[in-house]
Amino acid sequence: MKEVDELNLPEDLQYTKDHEWAKVTGDTVKIGISDYAQDQLGDIVFVEMPSVGDTFDEGDEFGTLESVKAVSELYAPLGGEIVAVNEELEDAPELLNQDPYGGWIIEMKSADMTELEQLLDRSSYLAILKGE
């Protein structure tokens, strides 16, 4: 496992305490898991994702990740409608281990973009990981 200082945590993303990341791309938000999450899970072998058109409220469980170590729930960092899922993950879930930021999981159209203001920036997320 990586030390906290070895983690790749891009500055241009926002993070949740549950280790998801969010990136605004125009009027949608791509969501995935952080480098910390994939490192802790180990080899990811299956990704359960919602369907396009499904809607979720902020904090709702939208899927699960299965690894050789555990099953972990995924939580929506904001409410909205699923407009895309990363279908590559169906056949290659290990993409999340190889590149957790290129390997996004879902894309949502938010009902309320101000919900993003509650997410953490890189330094706040890093402080949580360090237990500060």
What mean pLDDT, rounded, does the chain reach?
A: 96
30-49 pLDDT per residue, tens: 999 999 999 999 999 999 99
Domains of the chain, CATH where assigned: 27-112 (2.40.50.100)
Q: By percentage, how much of the chain surpasses pLDDT 90? A: 96
CB 105 within 8 A of CB 47: yes
Alpha-carbon distance 112 to 76, whole Å? 13
Give the β-pairing of 106-110 and 28-33. antiparallel
Residue 11 three-state SS: coil
Alpha-carbon distance 32 to 115, whole Å? 17
pLDDT at 111: 85
The answer, yes or no, to whether residue 10 has pLDDT greater than 80, is yes
69-82 pLDDT per residue, tens: 999 999 999 999 99
pLDDT at 58: 95
Alpha-carbon distance 17 to 120, whole Å? 8
81-102 pLDDT per residue, tens: 999 999 999 999 999 999 999 9
